[in-house]
């Protein structure tokens, strides 16, 4: 029996992980070509498992688990095989698309930062964290989308980072309550759940809007087989941001705001139609 069966099982494990952990992201990936879709599942699986270690496994030694996770990945990378299906599918993507190790290290460093309570005091600290937790994930995905076209990658590198930053900041705003109460984290400088006001909300949203506007220029230049999926993710997060804009700060402090299922389907149809008609 060839190793191809194991490759397939590992890939399906990453797909299942994506589907179960994020219905919104999984919906976006359905618009990708099969080759790109499997690669993005692998990237998502890797970052999701690391994120789960720092966010969910409270009864375990998280630092030890993160160390084991990192060491196992690099051992697997050397032998070109892992008995952890998530790591196995990711290492294959790393090698196939030449994912830079500096991206992986930056991501892992941001995850390690989440092992302790966080209260960022300035924009530089927040920017460094977001680079590792979100921007480099966007760059990993961009490497898949560009399929070795280094010139295209260079052109879209900055927009991809702006999009990753926008997504992450929306998540911070949406998860303000849980991050503060359950994880001991305050990501926005000088803003906590206790002093979060309409004024601070407005400032944060304006910053996110700027990131989205800079990112959109890059979405317009993406390869056709990647554009609809990224466009859908963009529409979803902008819809979530608009909903957060309409929601009083007092409510955001106590409730996690969501986008409904029907709205997601509408956004998916919009992404497909707009892309087909060349309206982006």
- Domain ranges in the chain? 4-276
Rounded Cα distance between 183 and 1, Å, is: 46
Helix (H) or strand (E) holding 185: strand 185-186
Q: What is the pLDDT of residue 118?
A: 84
Instruction: State the CB neighbour count (10 A cutoff) for residue 117.
Output: 9
- State pLDDT tens for residues 69-99: 999 999 999 999 999 999 999 999 999 999 9
How far apart CA 228 and CA 231 sit, in angstroms, is 5
Q: Sort 14 into a burial class: Cβ within 10 Å, 0-12 / 13-18 / 19+.
A: buried
The pLDDT, as a whole number, for residue 233 is 96
> How does DSSP classify residue 271?
H
pLDDT of residue 68: 98
Other C-beta atoms within 10 Å of 150: how many?
10
- In percent, the amount of the chain with pLDDT more than 70 equals 100
Q: What is the pLDDT of residue 6?
A: 95
* Opening angle at CA 195, ends 189 and 198, nearest 5: 95
- Which pLDDT score, from 0 to 100, does residue 66 have? 97
pLDDT for 2: 76
Residue ranges of the chain whose pLDDT lies below 70: 1
Coil, helix or strand for 186?
A: strand
3-class DSSP assignment, residue 269: helix
Say what the pLDDT of residue 130 is.
97
According to the model, what pLDDT value does residue 1 have?
57
Q: Where are the alpha helices (DSSP H) in 57-149?
A: 62-79, 85-96, 101-113, 123-130, 136-146
Domain 4-276, what fold?
Answer: Farnesyl Diphosphate Synthase (1.10.600)
Q: Which residue has the tokens 């460093």?
A: 109
pLDDT value of position 206: 97
């Amino acid at each position: 029996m060839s190793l191809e069966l194991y490759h397939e099982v590992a890939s399906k494990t990453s797909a299942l992980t994506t589907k179960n952990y994020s219905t919104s992201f999984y919906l976006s990936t359905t618009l990708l070509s099969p080759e790109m879709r499997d690669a993005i599942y692998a990237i998502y699986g890797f970052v999701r498992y690391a994120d789960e270690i720092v966010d969910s496994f409270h009864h375990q030694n998280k630092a030890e688990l993160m160390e084991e996770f990192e060491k196992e990945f690099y051992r697997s990378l050397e032998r070109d095989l892992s008995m952890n299906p998530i790591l196995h599918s990711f290492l294959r993507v790393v090698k196939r698309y030449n994912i830079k190790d500096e991206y992986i290290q930056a991501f892992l460093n941001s995850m390690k930062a989440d092992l302790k309570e966080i209260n960022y005091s300035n924009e530089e600290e927040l920017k460094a964290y977001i680079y590792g937790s979100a921007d480099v994930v966007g760059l990993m995905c961009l490497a898949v989308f560009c399929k070795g076209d280094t010139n295209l990658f260079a052109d879209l590198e900055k927009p991809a980072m702006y999009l990753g930053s926008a997504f992450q900041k929306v998540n911070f705003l949406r998860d303000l309550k849980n991050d503060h109460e359950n994880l001991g984290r305050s990501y926005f400088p000088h803003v906590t759940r206790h002093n979060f006001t309409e004024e601070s909300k407005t400032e944060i949203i304006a910053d996110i809007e700027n990131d989205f506007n800079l990112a959109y220029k890059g979405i317009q230049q993406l390869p056709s087989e990647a554009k609809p999926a990224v466009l859908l993710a963009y529409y979803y997060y902008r819809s979530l941001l608009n909903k957060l804009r309409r929601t009083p700060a007092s409510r955001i402090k106590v409730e996690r705001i969501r986008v409904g299922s029907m709205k997601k389907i509408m956004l998916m149809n919009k992404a497909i139609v707009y892309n087909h008609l060349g309206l982006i």
